[in-house]
């Protein structure tokens, strides 16, 4: 039995998120599993390193699956990218040790949020950023963001108002990076909440 690790990039605008939802074919996991199952002739279930919400994009989502297939890694990647929708791309396929698990072996995750900071909105950035026409105070934003770095209970920032699940998370870093009119807020942490 082989354990295959994939690195996946996707534009999530058309999807209900990463995780398969029943018999809906509107998830990234569902799309990939369908292609893998057809390709191998096996019922394939992939494990993602995390779940993204509806409309969320990913540059490097890691996932793994088990298969008896003897296809080469190159043939697998080529097949996946030929039959997946164009907004999902498998960037890398690797054989990994049997015990590798994409979710349990994830060291950290990085989420980026964007602001288009200009008096005029952007047609190209409208689906990937929030438009703010007012001038931003980067010094104050940086100062405020650093209060979230470290281990904290993020219940007040989560949709989980009453839950037995822990809402304590560790944020390793927050960076605010200017790319011209596009401002990136990059959060690195062990995991995140809805």
If one counts every other C-beta atom within 10 angstroms of the C-beta of residue 91, the result is 13
d(CA 127, CA 132): 14
153 in catalytic set: no
Q: Which three-class secondary structure state does DSSP give residue 191?
A: coil
What does the longest C-alpha to C-alpha distance in the chain come to? 57
Helix ranges (H only) for the chain are: 28-40, 73-83, 138-145
d(CA 190, CA 50): 11
Q: Which of 11, 25, 53, 95 is catalytic?
A: 53
Q: How far is CA 10 from the centre of its chain?
A: 8
Catalytic residues: 53
């Amino acid at each position: 039995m082989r354990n295959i690790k994939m690195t996946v990039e996707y534009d999530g605008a058309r999807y209900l998120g990463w995780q398969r939802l029943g018999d809906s074919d509107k998830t990234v996991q569902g799309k990939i599993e369908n292609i893998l199952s057809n390709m191998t002739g096996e019922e394939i279930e992939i494990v993602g390193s995390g779940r993204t919400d509806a409309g969320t994009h990913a540059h490097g989502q890691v996932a793994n699956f088990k298969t008896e297939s003897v296809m080469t890694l190159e043939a697998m990647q080529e097949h996946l990218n030929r039959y997946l929708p164009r907004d999902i791309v498998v960037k890398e396929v690797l054989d990994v040790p049997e015990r590798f698990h994409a979710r349990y072996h994830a060291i950290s995750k990085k989420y980026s949020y964007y602001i288009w900071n200009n008096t005029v909105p952007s047609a190209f950035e409208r689906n990937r950023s929030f438009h703010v026409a007012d001038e931003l105070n980067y010094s104050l934003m940086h100062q405020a963001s650093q209060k979230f770095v470290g281990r904290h209970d993020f219940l007040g920032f989560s949709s989980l108002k009453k839950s037995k699940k822990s809402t304590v998370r560790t944020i390793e870093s927050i960076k605010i990076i200017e790319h011209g009119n596009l401002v990136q807020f990059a959060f690195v942490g062990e995991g995140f909440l809805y």
